[in-house]
Amino acid sequence: MPLMKTDWDVLVEGFLGHLEELKEQGVRFLPVAPQTLAALEALSSKARPLPPPSRTRIDPAPALLLTPEKAQAAVARIEGSPVAPLVPGAANLSAVDQHTRAAAMAELRGRALVCRKCPHLAQSRKNVVFGIGDIHSPLMFVGEAPGADEDAQGEPFVGAAGQLLTRMIRAMGFSRETVYIANILKCRPDTPGQSFGNRKPTAEEMKTCAPYLLEQIGLIQPKVIVALGATAVEGLLGRREGISRLRGHFQDFRGTPVMPTYHPSYLLRSESLAVKRQVWEDMLQVLEKLNVPITEKQRNYFLKASA
């Protein structure tokens, strides 16, 4: 019988996963507070397993303990290692900003992974689906909530709709690694008495979880957000007019342009190539807003078919 994971296991696994992601993105250094290093050294020198969280005082986030001067000094210690910008939009960020942002995101992820603010969801979930991608990206996609596949894998948009989203992102000239993808709700909405199917998050659940997404957006500071589907629009903007009326028109979220469009799962259900073209036109507007050059081929996707 498989052993149940404790919150501590989930926290450690999630943190290690996040470090791996950062490493793949080329990040080679994270500022860490001296107190944290001392605590880690003490643990490793005693060569004993980490104690459970109930008896452990977890240090505040490294980013919160760092002063800009300490972070600058720490970065200066990296021998000849100017941190390469990950995307053109990150070119204006200093190395300190990039690493402080990474540390703050890791701390936020750590908090979300052990969150139990919705006890019924904490009880039923397999994983907290925090978000994935480049935290310096100018482009962020926001969906509704994890489904069964996402809950199982701990990653947003990995099922059939996610694969379609991945193709859309590639057609735009990006990849899953160069954008950031997150959901309004970080835990799968439970479906008591049902072994399959998904349900829409309640307004209360969305409100409870919203601070995590707000912090993610605040850290990433994307130039454009794409809201996928009516629930994402409702959770982000509080608008309920219906996605077919809102799509194609930029909205404002605290100074960041938001493009509402149909959820990829709607595209999977719809036979209409005209609907696919509508979504593509929304993405062309997003590319224009990002000042990304658009090829003739990109401009013409689904055009003949939908005429």
| Own/partner long-range contacts of 152-158 (Cβ < 8 Å, ≥24 apart) | 152/126, 152/127, 153/127, 154/14, 154/17, 154/126, 154/127, 154/128, 154/129, 154/130, 155/129, 156/129, 156/131, 156/132, 156/181, 156/182, 156/183, 157/181, 157/264
Query: Is position 108 an interface residue for ligand SF4 (rule: CB under 6 A)?
Result: no
Strands (DSSP E) along the chain, which ranges? Answer: 132-133, 139-143, 180-183, 224-228, 251-253, 256-261
- Using rule CB under 6 A, residue 95 touches ligand SF4: no
Q: Which stretch binds ligand SF4 (CB under 6 A): 117-125, 216-224, 236-244, 286-294?
A: 117-125
| Residues 283-302 as x/- pattern, contact with ligand SF4 by CB under 6 A | --------------------
**According to the binding rule CB under 6 A, does residue 103 interact with ligand SF4?**
no
Q: Which one of the spans 41-49, 81-89, 112-120, 172-180 is the region binding ligand SF4 (CB under 6 A)? A: 112-120
Least Å from the CB of residue 188 to ligand SF4: 9
Residue 118 touching ligand SF4 (CB under 6 A): yes
Q: Which is nearer to ligand SF4, 90 or 185 (CB)?
A: 185
Size of the site for ligand SF4 (CB under 6 A): 14
Q: Is 124 in the site for ligand SF4 (CB under 6 A)?
A: no
* Interactions with ligand SF4, residue window 184-213 (CB under 6 A): 185-187, 205, 208-209
Quick check: 276 and 302 in contact, CB under 8 A?
yes
115 binds ligand SF4 (CB under 6 A): yes
- Residue 117 binds to ligand SF4 (criterion: CB under 6 A): yes
Q: Is 122 in the site for ligand SF4 (CB under 6 A)?
A: yes
List CB contacts of 305: < 8 A, sequence separation 6 or more: 273, 276, 277
95-113 vs 68-76: helix crossing angle, rounded to 10: 110
Q: How far is the CB of 95 from ligand SF4 (least distance, A)?
A: 31
- Cα distance between residue 88 and residue 91, in whole Å: 5
DSSP 120-160: HHHHH-S-----EE-TT-SEEEEES---HHHHHHTSSS-SH
71 Cβ contact partners less than 8 Å away, ≥ 6 residues apart: 31, 96, 99, 100
Contact stretch for ligand SF4 (CB under 6 A) within 54-62, 116-124, 160-168, 223-231: 116-124
Q: How far is the CB of 14 from ligand SF4 (least distance, A)?
A: 12
Residue placing its CB nearer to ligand SF4 in the complex, 163 or 208 = 208
Q: Which residues bind ligand SF4 (CB under 6 A)?
A: 112, 115-118, 121-122, 128, 185-187, 205, 208-209
